[in-house]
Structure 1
Amino acid sequence: MAQQDNIKRLLRLTQEGNRGLLEEEVSRCESVRTAIVQGHFGRSGDTAVHYAARHGQLDVLKYLIEELGADVELVNGDYKRALHEAASMGHRECLRYLILRGAKIDSLKKADWTPLMMACTRRNLEVIKDLIDSGANVTLKNKDGWNCFQIACREGNPEIIQYLLKVSPGIWDVESKVKRTPLHTAAMHGCSEVVDILLERCGYGSDAKDSCGVTPFMDAVQNGHVGIAKLLLKKHRANISAKDALGAQSLHRAAVTAQDKAIQFLVTELGVNVNERATDLNLTALHYAAKEGHRGTIETLLTLGADVHAKDSKGRSALHMACAGQHTKCIRQLVDAGLTDSPDNTGRLASQLLKKPEALKLLEGVTDIK
């Protein structure tokens, strides 16, 4: 127990960068010296070298490697090296030192992430430059099929995007394993400056679809990024009527994610029919909103003229969807909007409401449920 407490103290000194006290503690006991050089700690199995690199403690890092002989290529439980840590946290001095000491520039941690990919999760251009200047391969992909450019597009720093395109002009032409492009990623995450660069400098096809049939325009709309949707319309001639693999359009996907402003944009500015049907099961946006229990979206759709009585290919109204999801407040909302149900469907409605008897009362007088 005493030695375990001592190790914890040493790791704390490592994180704090207190080299003087660390040297004193290590010099007192050979077993402690061995543990601090070779030991793996915590759930992730980090070594002292990992701790020093993660916290940017260059002086301690030098002591561990040069004085104690720690290996720069030590891995933790996720096969992460110290170089991954320095790159991820943006500690440039530690990163350059590790490279100088022979750290493998394209080492892979779990899920095949390189230090360069880790660096691209941050907005530190200088660290990214150091890695590429040292020979990092910009074209490598992780297990999901993402390269460093795709990751940078998610983070949305235009300077980094411009730099990566400069050093590797064709880097943009990549798809993940589910066929998502960097343009999908930037649109989804609301990175408008990056979307603008991609549309200007890269050759993405209009309305490219991922494996679910989703286009960048759909990504922008369903995440509420109306400005990016407008940009895609202006510069990319995006198809507002494109359908995903289930036949849903942008309107339907916006209803699922409760993006009311995007719905208003589609209907009032672009003229999308608020009662447009998804080809799968003939659902309307109101069906989708009721299924998810989005009261605000239901109100938005009704205000825009959604047909509260519309039925899908199975004869189900939005009320059925609200009942199936046990969304009591939405049931009340739809009933107040004048939605009634035919007697032949009341048995199904009743069975769906068994978990919430109070919701059944909302239908009394509207259907023949007693």
Structure 2
Amino acid sequence: MKDVFGQTPLLWAARVGHGAIVKLLLERRGVEADMKDGYGQTPLLWAARLGHVATVKLLLGRKGVEADMKDKYGLTPLSWAAQGGHVVIAKLLLERKSVKAEIKDEGGQTPLSWAARGGGILSGSLGRNESVVELLVKRHDIDVNSKDNDGHTPLLWAARAGHEKITALLLEHEDVNINVKEKVGGQSSLSWAALKGYEAVVGLLLQREDIEADAKDVHGQTPLMWAAVGGYKTIVGMLLDRKDVDPAAKSDSGATALGMAEGKGHEAIVELLELKLEHSRAGRGVDDSSGKGDESQV
């Protein structure tokens, strides 16, 4: 019997983690362990989503329970466990041969994507999400560069959310592509980290030799421009320390990092940029005087 929300007694018991009641209900003849509610979620999906380990064990012990069932959004129990940082449940599910570690929901996101983006810095699940990422990236059947429908990879999500340890875990994977850009704005992991002011994540990304530190998005804006407009002085300094970052680069609209900083009133950043530009001009002047610059003076 279902209520107006499509919930059965077993669904409610699993949802709130009442293991004893779940056990009693599973022993009754005719109880459907995979009954779905209005959102297409089964008792196992709810238990995995909310981190009820004992209930998950009971349901997985039931013969015939589908451990990889999708809800109306295409999320599986593993997807929900990954999003919530429930590493013990993720391990239990991955022990089942029927559970796919690399499976996409309706938005194109995999369990690894959910683990990388989920939690939030102020959420208590962040540390747990790190454990799930660590569990998943060790598997041979995981695509660390899997893109969702908007072109986000797990690394893009981690950088965008400012998850330092998760970013570090993903960067350790030998196949990770750190310069992937999302579809809509064309921003890379570095652009997002600079835009959001995540110094630690920017630092991790800039340590990579293959980083495109001056990559432009669809509007021609670079990480330096995003950091400048956001008022993130430390990140601006980190980027200006690199030889492959052009402080005078222009966006498609002709805007520069200096102009953006001036427009926002970020005086300290304006000073940094002006000093860097002055040194760049002086450097070219030295080259010119030594005969390495303007050929007309040779």
TM-score range, shorter chain: 0.7 to 0.9
Instruction: Report what 2:223 is aligned to.
Output: 216
Deviation at 1:26, TM superposition (A): 5.2
State the match for 1:75 in structure 2.
70
Q: Which moved more, 1:67-76 or 1:52-61?
A: 67-76
Selected match of 2:104 from 108, 127, 147: 108
Change (3 A) 1:265 1:237: farther
| Runs (5+) with no aligned partner, structure 1 | 273-370
Aligned to 2:197: 190
CA distance in 2, matches of 1:223, 1:71: 48
Cα distance, 1:188–1:37 mapped onto 2, change above 3 Å: same
The 5-angstrom pairing of residues 142-181 of structure 1 reads: 142-168=148-174, 170-177=176-183, 178-181=185-188
Aligned twin of 1:227: 234
Question: In 2 relative to 1, CA 192–173 (structure 1 residues): closer, same or farther, beyond 3 Å?
Answer: same
Between structure 1 and structure 2, the one with the greater Rg is: 1
Q: Match of 1:74, SS?
A: coil
| Pair 1:267 & 2:270 matched | yes
More helix by share: 1
Q: Secondary structure at the match of 1:201?
A: coil
- 2:254 matched to 1:247? yes
Partners of 2:213 and 2:25 in 1: CA distance: 63
* Unmatched tracts of structure 2, length 5 or more: 119-125, 276-298
Pair 1:218–1:58, CA change in 2 (3 A): same
Q: Which residue number corresponds to residue 38 of structure 1?
A: 35
Say which structure, 1 or 2, has more relative contact order (CA 8 Å, 6+ apart): 2
1:243-322 correspondence to structure 2 within 5 Å = 243-251=250-258, 253=260, 259-260=264-265, 263-271=266-274
Structure 1 length-normalised TM:
0.64
Cα distance change on mapping 1:224 and 1:49 into 2, 3 Å: farther
Superposed CA offset, 1:249-281 (max 9, x none): 23554577xx44xx2124344339xxxxxxxxx
Q: 1:192 to 1:101 in 2, by over 3 A?
A: same
How many Å apart are 1:40 and its aligned residue?
A: 2.7
Within 2, Cα distance between the matches of 1:202 and 1:46?
Answer: 45
CA drift at 1:58: 1.8
Report the CA distance between 1:216 and its aligned residue: 0.3
Measured against aligned partners, the alpha-carbon deviations of 1:9-62 in whole angstroms (never above 9, x if no partner) come to 5434213321111233455573xx22x522133xx4322221100111122112
Alpha carbons 1:15, 1:51 under 8 Å: kept:
yes
Q: 1:25 to 1:37 in 2, by over 3 A?
A: same
The list of structure 1 runs, each at least 4 consecutive aligned residues, that deviate by more than 4 angstroms after superposition, is 25-29, 251-256
CA distance in 2, matches of 1:181, 1:202: 16
Name the CA shift for 1:202/1:54 in 2 (closer, same or farther; >3 Å): farther
Indicate conservation of the 8 Å contact 2:236/2:269, yes or no.
no
1:139 counterpart = 2:145 = yes
SS in 2 for 1:134: coil
